[in-house]
């Protein structure tokens, strides 16, 4: 069973007994005590440290945005899990992260994919109005949702998007992707006949695109954010537990309805 021999390679990190090198940086000499958590996360996602204060401020803001939004499905999944396995908090956080798919948080990937496909070269001139119209028409023609716009609670605007776009302006990251995202929201709103402003994931998707982060890994920003938030939910669930009460209520309501239904048969 001869097999093509392939070398295993990785450019992420290597170590010797007295050194650990991460993306070309000496962990102990260059990073610890010198670079913040958010800046090292930027290094992991882009292969370099931020080269300006503006870049650092903007990326940290993106990564902070989704840390918390209260009792999300992810937070509830984490709390349910830690109730059954308090000895394995890492598994509880893993359970919460597993839900960051196409509907919540992971939706930033869909938005970024769309933006980066529409504008392959952000340095070339972009017909924002034309592209936005095309994109919305195409999505509507196949009954697909426009990603990154609208929010069930944050109406008429998502204050996180407003703030992120303000920061993008201040830090110099408000370019064609941001313009296109905003214009897409406007067009989609016009066609739907109601306000559908850019939401937090749409803002993150467009600004991260400006920063050169590929849509294929942009969801990682949301995963990192929520991971931090979920540590907080584990922490609170251990001291002020609510998972059992939620479980009891749901069990009671569904069980009672099922018993009534079975009696009527």
Q: Provide, rounded to whole angstroms, the least separation between the CB of residue 126 and a second copy.
A: 26
Among the listed residues 37, 13, 33, 32, the one whose alpha carbon sits nearest the alpha carbon of residue 23 = 13
Nearer of residues 127 and 254 to a second copy, judged by Cβ? 254
**Calpha distance 115→164 (Å, rounded):** 17
Residues 175-234 binding a second copy (CB under 8 A) are: 216-217, 219-220, 223-224, 227-229, 231-234
Q: Which of 49, 50, 55, 89 binds a second copy (CB under 8 A)?
A: 89
Size of the site for a second copy (CB under 8 A): 128
Asked whether 173 and 210 are in contact (CB, 8 A), the reply is yes
Q: Please answer whether residues 76 and 237 qualify as being in contact, where contact means their C-beta atoms are separated by less than 8 angstroms.
A: no
The 3-state DSSP class for residue 250 equals: helix
**Binding-site member from 49, 50, 55, 72 for a second copy (CB under 8 A):** 72
How many Å apart are CA 98 and CA 90, to the nearest integer?
Answer: 12
Query: What is the Cα–Cα distance from 108 to 202, expressed in whole angstroms?
Result: 6
CB of 182 to a second copy, least distance (A): 18
CA 145/CA 237 separation, integer angstroms:
35
Closest Cα partner for 212 from 185, 179, 175?
A: 175
Question: Could you tell me whether strands 19-22 and 25-26 are parallel, antiparallel, or unpaired per DSSP bridges?
Answer: antiparallel
CA triplet 96, 98, 100: central angle to 5 degrees?
A: 90
Site string for a second copy, 116-145 (x = CB under 8 A): ------------------------------
Within 30-49, which residues bind a second copy (CB under 8 A)? 31-33, 35-41, 44-45
Helix, strand or coil, per DSSP, at residue 126: coil
Residue of the chain from 119, 197, 247, 264 that contacts a second copy (CB under 8 A): 247
**Structural contact between residues 149 and 197, judged by C-beta atoms closer than 8 angstroms:** yes
Distance CA 204, CA 158 (A): 12
Question: CB of residue 229 vs a second copy: minimum separation in angstroms?
Answer: 6
Q: Give the separation between CA 75 and CA 68, rounded to whole angstroms.
A: 9
109 vs 132, which CB is nearer to a second copy? 109
Nearer to a second copy, 34 or 129 (CB): 34
Contact between 99 and a second copy per CB under 8 A:
yes
User: Under rule CB under 8 A, which residues in 150-179 are in contact with a second copy?
Assistant: 153-155, 157, 159-160, 162-164, 167, 170
- Binding a second copy by CB under 8 A: which of 14, 144, 169, 190? 14
Indicate the residue among 98 and 129 with the shorter CB distance to a second copy: 98
Region binding a second copy by CB under 8 A among candidate stretches 102-110, 115-123, 177-185, 188-196: 102-110
- Rounded to a whole number of angstroms, the minimum distance from the CB of residue 129 to a second copy is 29
């Amino acid at each position: 069973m001869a097999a093509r021999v392939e070398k295993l390679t990785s450019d992420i990190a290597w170590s010797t007994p007295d050194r650990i090198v991460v993306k070309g940086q000496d962990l102990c000499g260059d990073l610890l005590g010198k670079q913040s958590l958010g800046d090292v996360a930027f290094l992991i996602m882009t292969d370099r440290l931020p080269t300006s204060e503006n870049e650092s401020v903007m990326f940290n803001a993106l990564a902070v945005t989704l840390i918390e939004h209260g009792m999300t499905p992810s937070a509830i999944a984490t709390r349910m899990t830690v109730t059954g396995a308090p000895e394995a908090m890492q598994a509880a956080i893993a359970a919460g992260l597993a839900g960051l798919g196409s509907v919540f948080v992971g939706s930033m990937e869909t938005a970024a994919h769309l933006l980066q496909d529409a504008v392959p070269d952000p340095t070339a001139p972009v017909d924002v109005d034309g592209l936005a119209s095309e994109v919305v028409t195409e999505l509507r023609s196949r009954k697909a949702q426009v990603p990154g716009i609208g929010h069930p609670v944050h109406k008429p605007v998502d204050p996180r998007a407003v703030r992120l776009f303000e920061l993008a302006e201040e830090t110099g990251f408000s370019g064609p992707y941001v313009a296109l995202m905003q214009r897409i929201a406007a067009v989609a709103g016009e066609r739907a006949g109601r306000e559908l402003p850019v939401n937090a994931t749409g803002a993150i998707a467009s600004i991260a695109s400006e920063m050169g982060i590929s849509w294929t890994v942009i969801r990682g920003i949301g995963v990192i954010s929520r991971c931090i938030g979920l540590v907080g939910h584990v922490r609170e669930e251990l001291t002020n537990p609510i998972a059992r009460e939620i479980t009891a209520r749901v069990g009671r309501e569904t069980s009672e309805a099922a018993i009534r239904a079975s009696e009527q048969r």
